[in-house]
Amino acid sequence: MKDYLSELNAVQKAAVEQTEGPVMVIAGPGSGKTKVLTSRITHLLSKGVKPNQILSLTFTNKAAKEMTHRISNVVGNEARKIWAGTFHSIFAKILRIEASKIGYPNSFTIYDTEDSKSVINEIIKEFNLNTKEYNANAIRTRISSAKSNLITPIMYERDPEYKEVDQANRMPRTGEIYRRYVQKCQQAGAMDFDDLLLQMFRLLQENPDQVLEKYRGYFKYLLVDEFQDTNQLQYGIIKKLSLYPGSARNICIVGDDAQSIYAFRGATIQNILDFEKDFPDVKVFKLEQNYRSTNFIVKAANDVITHNKKQIKKEIWTEKNEGAKIKLLKSASDTEEGRRIANLIVEYKNRHHLPNHEIAILYRTNAQSRIFEEHLRRANIPYKVFGGMSFYQRKEVKDFIAYMRLVINRKDNEAFKRIINYPKRAIGDSTVDKFIEYAAENNISLWDASIEVPLPNRAAQALATFKLQITEMYQYSLNADAYETAQYIYKLSGLSTELKSDMTNEGISRLENVMALLDGVKEFTEQDDVEEDSSTDRSLATYLQSISLITELDQQEGTPEYITLMSTHSAKGLEFDLVFIGGLEENLFPSYMAMKSDADMDEERRLFYVAITRAKQFLVLSHASTRYFFGNLKKNEASRFLEEIDESCFETDKTARSTVFNLMDDEPTNSKIFIRPKINFAPSIPTDFKESPRDLITQGATIIHQKFGRGKIQTIEGQKDNQIATILFEEIDNPLRKIMLKFAKLQVVN
């Protein structure tokens, strides 16, 4: 076994060697938390702990695989016997074994977001509700939030606060929809993602002797990564396994309260803040040395996070004392911000020889990407926006998967509805509506309802053929692996003929997507990197479970040569040599939605902290004085977060800076030095702005421009409607601008 302990610093080593009792590791950004987790598991194995007695929970499959790979490098194949995976994948695995104890089939289907919305839309229709008022996505979010907070349908309907909110949202029957949604999922033998947690909790709660004690006995050591991202339900399950009498209490949580940024998904920072109360004998280790970023970046992060009210105190430090200071980029508009960032990328690439994949532009909202995309295209800089449609959400892929799902679970109503008439087989929407109505009245699946509902001869014959095909596919799957079954489904269903009949560019793209899906099934059947107890399981059911748990970030592998554009939420866990953070303005970052409470503002600050600490060498913080918002030009104040960073971290003093500028982008580069005694974070534009008559706009006049602020007219050239004013502005970079007067709105102030 390799000497894994010699690679750890003193605090890391102490955290690894403290194997017994509750342990909390507060791991700052870039502090080597993954190394601590993997070393801790390795240390347990070296002490004789059996691999299958270790439960390690993460939030992405990618993190689980990386951890297992690192452990394998030290201890070999024993790493495969560890129960390591995401909350959802581990609990799905247990539920596959124990589901019958809570009234579900062991081959239950896992519904994704679209499936859940479809069920909710069906219920809205069943209840004869106004679809303009009852929004399926909003209701799905409400149900998800309720489940994450251990609120059952009965509790929901009795809670006056839920009723009040639903009434205010003009959806007073949301509680009834929630209750019906749970019924329909159970009738269909299906669980949504939240159910994988809720039903796991229910399984342990309702079976304390038979199930809870069984898994307490299995899992002698529990490790939880990214603990600050857990919700109430996840922590509830963790406590059942590790806190109460009969538990081994050998739990190690690793996380950072300063990186808790997923409250909108139900995560609560209170879990990590309260851990010491729940486990008063906990041993706390703080990993404060940052191995990722240079000193100025680390100092800026510390400066910002100290302003939060609720936090576990720590001081991140680094030995990388040499490095570039942070560049503060101020632009007159969001368009200029996009142009300047694109130009800076070219400059940094040439000066520091940075590859594209080491550069990222981060922003608070996905809508901000448009400007950056436009200017990156103009500069011929390849880029990729993360946050678009996932491969598994494309129609042709979902259609094929729906066939697979129905083959292994004929109670899967969402799969049934999706493919009953695809390819077209004379079974229209009105026929499907009859199935839905009959199924709702009799509490049965659509598959069973279709047997009972009388149909015209043509539709009846088409339905019989369809059902015979599904049955044949199922019989075939009993003696075939996932790939063989998928190929059989692809041909027998008619998908092959349907897709190959369209040879347009779009049709070819759809066919390529389905071929890629089949390639993925093939890879699944041939892989050898699996857990011990499922190493020979290459069934279609197991394949479907594996892809149902894939997240978007799990699919982002390798280092392709493009600039990364993503929201700050998506950037968590990543790192780049050069990071731009755009749109650092009040009501944008921090968001206007965070202005209502201190807790929300603290979360925005943690989000900014996460964004800063993605940078390894270079960090550029950018804001614009004006930005279009819903068609209106809006003046902005710079983000309060910029003021919280000490001036010593910036390339130039925030209150007294000098800048080199060119007269105009299209003029000769006669560089001048312009000294500004004071720089405000936004141009001084009066709220009572009034456009002045044209005859007052003369050479030497001091004016206010709606976008650029205060300036002085240097010259006016041209005739009548073609007059151009050259204006020296006081408070912007590149301050000398040429303005076409017939389009300008200027207020004379002297």
Is 66 one of the catalytic residues? Answer: no
Non-local CB neighbours of 658 within 8 Å, separated by 6+ positions: 652, 673, 674, 675, 676
Compute the distance between CA of residue 419 and CA of residue 425 in angstroms, rounded to an integer.
10
User: b vs e for 312-327, b when ≥16 Cβ sit within 10 Å of the residue's Cβ?
Assistant: bebebebebeebbbbb
The tokens for 457 are: 């001869």
Q: Which of 60, 174, 234, 259 does the annotation list as catalytic?
A: 259
Q: Which residues partner with 705 through β-bridges?
A: 709, 746
Nearest Cα residue to 342 out of 369, 366, 363, 372? 372
Give residue for tokens 């399984």.
203
Nearest Cα residue to 157 out of 141, 171, 173, 169? 173
Compute the distance between CA of residue 133 and CA of residue 128 in angstroms, rounded to an integer.
12
Q: Which of 115, 166, 194, 225 does the annotation list as catalytic?
A: 225
Is 225 one of the catalytic residues? Answer: yes
Q: Which of 18, 34, 551, 556 does the annotation list as catalytic?
A: 34
Q: Which of 614, 627, 635, 654 does the annotation list as catalytic?
A: 614
Neighbours of 604 (CB within 10 A): 22
Helix (H) or strand (E) holding 473: helix 457-477
Is 699 one of the catalytic residues? Answer: no
The tokens for 667 are: 């003029």
Compute the distance between CA of residue 566 and CA of residue 368 in angstroms, rounded to an integer.
10
Helix (H) or strand (E) holding 330: strand 327-333
Give one DSSP letter per residue of 501-550, joined into a string.
Answer: T--SHHHHHHHHHHHHHHHHHHHHHH-----GGGTT---HHHHHHHHHT-
Is 265 one of the catalytic residues? Answer: no
Is 738 one of the catalytic residues? Answer: no
* Peptide bond between residue 683 and the one before it cis (omega within 30 degrees of 0): no
Nearest Cα residue to 598 out of 256, 317, 310? 310
Q: How many CA atoms lie within 13 A of 239 on its CB side?
A: 16
Residue pair 326/651 in contact by the 8 Å Cβ criterion: yes
Is 281 one of the catalytic residues? Answer: no
SS3 category, 334 = helix
Q: Which of 115, 122, 192, 226 does the annotation list as catalytic?
A: 226
Catalytic residue IDs? 33-34, 225-226, 259, 614
